[in-house]
Amino acid sequence: MKKILLISGLILGLSACSTPKEPQLTVAPQPTISSVPVVQGKTVMVESRDLRTAQFVAVVDNGRKNVQPIHATSNVRIVLEDALTRQFNSQGYRVATDSKGKVRLDVLDALVKVEHSVFSHTMQTNVQIQLVAETSDNKFVKRYTGKSTMEGATSASVEDMEIALNTLLDAVLQDISRDKQLATFMNENF
């Protein structure tokens, strides 16, 4: 009897390992790296918050009331904070915890919506990031938004969704790196 229980437990354990896992998206935006530093010796503290109402990064609607949320393989807030930190470092800022100037990145939206029909799909991607740059005396707040729509003849793959989301996040990070108002505020106040 013990042998039967042991063998059945082993079979159940092995079958659990072979069950398919839920798909996940790899969120890996590339920061805009500046070839020439724009500042020297200025420090900035970087923080982030995830203010999205739901933590998934994609929603796939196959019709017939079959909606599947897809999560990211890593924490979106941390990935974006790291990308922004690398971007600031390339611009000549020294990211530190003891700076009088602070930049907070708020993730407001990062979502791919996929609608499948029998022979095609539509992907709508939305990204919204808010930056709050502040010192004890001054504050600068700005939202950076990206939207894209793509259509295809077959089902959308996980890779298609990753490309759509990461491409839009790259574009928003590029907008942040080119923002003259943000650069002026940081140069004058940090």
Q: Where are the domains of the chain?
A: 47-189
Residues in the chain with pLDDT values less than 50: 15-16, 18-19
CA angle 130, 131, 135 (to 5 degrees): 145
Query: How far apart, in whole angstroms, are the C-alpha atoms of residue 23 and residue 70?
Result: 6
Q: What is the pLDDT of residue 155?
A: 85
Contact 76, 27 (CB under 8 A): yes
What pLDDT digit, counting tens, does each position of 97-146 carry?
Answer: 989 999 999 999 999 999 988 789 999 999 999 999 999 999 999 999 99
Which residues on adjacent β-strands are paired with residue 103? Answer: 46, 133
pTM of the model: 0.86
Q: What is the pLDDT of residue 19?
A: 46
Question: Any idea which architecture 47-189 has in CATH?
Answer: 3-Layer(aba) Sandwich (3.40)
Q: What is the pLDDT of residue 55?
A: 92
Query: How far apart, in whole angstroms, are the C-alpha atoms of residue 44 and residue 93?
Result: 7
